Amino acid sequence: MSPAPRDTAELLAGARAGEPDALGRAFETCRAYLLLVAEKEMAPGLRAKGGASDLVQQTFLEAQQAFGRFRGASHDELLAWLRRLLLNNVANFRRHWQTTAKRRASREVSLDGAAVTPHVAGAGPTPSREVMADERATAVRAAIDRLPDDYQTVLRLRYEEDLPFEDVARRMGRTSNAVRKLWSRAVERLQQELPYDH
């Protein structure tokens, strides 16, 4: 079972003290949240070219290398830092595939008025990658659907509607502090529900 978000501060302190595995365990407290963000940010056409879990894993690798520059000490600070890294990776991934598509289009050759695009091996998604991306997205949706109603609501308002905590609080008729706590518990529970291999 993954460590709980409330243990993250202790894990971060351990990572700075040189404890093996502490940083990886701290990252694991953020995996479910980052998967939600990646799934939301990636267009359906891009999911087949690289799954959300691939981008999250890449983010963890980069964060491990850059950890010396991270000054935060809490779960929320770690989430915010990893989210920024992830969004950069999603943007780069999107840019890469848009540029690749433009390059492929520019290689088209006209023969008697017919456009012909040369076949490039590996240029498109493989059937197995498409299936894996669909399975991953389905698993995230199914995991959210298994959560209690309040957890589903807070996650959907934060990720599907992209609302700040203050707006979520108004919509749910709660205080901002209560919504942050509810969200933290929802992310923790979602982490337990997701059947991902790490």
Q: In a 10 Å sphere around its CB, with 0-12 CB exposed, 13-18 middle and 19+ buried, how is residue 163 labelled?
A: middle
Determine the residue type at 132.
M
- The answer to pTM > 0.85 is no
pLDDT at res. 54: 84
Q: Could you give the 3-state DSSP secondary structure of residue 110? A: strand
pLDDT at res. 111: 45
CA gap 38, 19 in Å, rounded: 29
In the chain, what are the domain boundaries? 5-193
C-alpha dihedral over 74, 57, 93, 85, to 10 degrees?
Answer: 20
pLDDT at res. 15: 92
pLDDT at res. 129: 56
pLDDT at res. 100: 59
Distances (CA, A) of 174 to 156, 171, 177: 16, 8, 8
Taking the mean position of all CA atoms in its chain, how far away is CA 75?
16
From first to last of its 198 residues, what are the pLDDT tens digits of the chain? 455 555 888 999 999 998 989 999 999 989 988 988 888 887 666 655 567 888 898 899 899 989 999 999 998 899 999 999 999 988 888 887 666 555 454 444 444 444 444 444 444 455 565 566 567 667 777 888 889 999 989 988 887 777 888 899 999 999 988 988 888 888 888 877 776 544
